Amino acid sequence: MNKKIKQRRFSIFRYNPQTPEVKPFMQEYFLDDLAGMTIFVALNNIRETQDPSLNFDFVCRAAICGSCAMLINGKPRLACKTLTSDLKGDIVLMPLPVFKLLGDLSVDTGSWFREITIKTQAWIHTESTFNPELTELPMENSLANEIYEAERCIECGCCIAGCVTANLRENFLGAAGVNKVARFIIDPRDRRETRDYFEIIGSDDGTFGCMSLMACEDNCPMELPLQKQLSFVRRKMLFHGLGKS
């Protein structure tokens, strides 16, 4: 005798900024809760079989691109990595806060991260001229791994969406911005000094604006040590401010 498949109720935020006369509302859908079903699969099922007007983002389906981040039962998560079986009761889907809303569950994280990249000047600063015939600068494996750890950020926006300060202060760089700075501070190829980084991040819009609630690290789908990065950069900036660097 086949076991009856349970149905799940999805309550999904709907709003199109192109038609502001239609106020935001929550729309309900019902789906069979199939084994191994992710939120991503569920949303595709809804769009293909029930409502082709539903907007949400995805690219890789493998927790690499970060495009499918959204609030799932109030928590920033990746839709492709979240199983419906891990969620209790009705499933409520909302767009990430902080970022510009494009429609329904789709937000513009790209523009936000592009601006942060520019603000933090997240590229190697050096006066050396590139010579393709030279070998790459040798680096200890331990240091290369530290740099790689910071580079694992997929810019999904989950850390920003869950950050109280980022939700209150428009110009706050957040954990993602601090992580970018930490990556270049430890990179021996970058010739900037501490005072250069202080100009970028040594303020309440940078490392000193964090309330240390750890929501960034708790919500990071890549499990990056964001609080460790924050502490590292904050110490650097504090010592510089006290004239000890």
Query: In CATH, what number is assigned to the domain containing residue 38?
Result: 3.10.20.30
Nearest to 154 by CA among 101, 120, 113: 113
Say if residue 12 is in the same domain as residue 86: yes
Residue 33 domain boundaries: 7-107
Residue after which a domain boundary falls, among 107, 138, 155: 107
Residue after which a domain boundary falls, among 60, 76, 107: 107
Say if residue 153 is in the same domain as residue 220: yes
Residue after which a domain boundary falls, among 83, 107, 131: 107
**d(Cα 26, Cα 42) in Å, to the nearest integer?**
17
pLDDT (tens place) for every residue of the chain, 245 residues total? 456 778 999 999 999 999 999 999 999 999 999 999 999 999 999 999 999 999 999 999 899 999 999 999 999 999 999 999 999 999 999 999 999 999 999 999 999 999 999 999 999 999 888 888 888 878 899 999 999 999 999 999 999 999 999 999 999 999 999 999 999 999 999 999 999 999 999 999 999 999 888 899 999 999 999 999 999 999 999 877 666 55
Say if residue 128 is in the same domain as residue 45: no
Adjacent-strand bridge partners of 27: 12
Residue 234 sits in a domain whose CATH number is 1.10.1060.10
Say if residue 37 is in the same domain as residue 80: yes
Contact 15, 103 (CB under 8 A): yes
Asked if residue 115 is part of any domain, the answer here is no
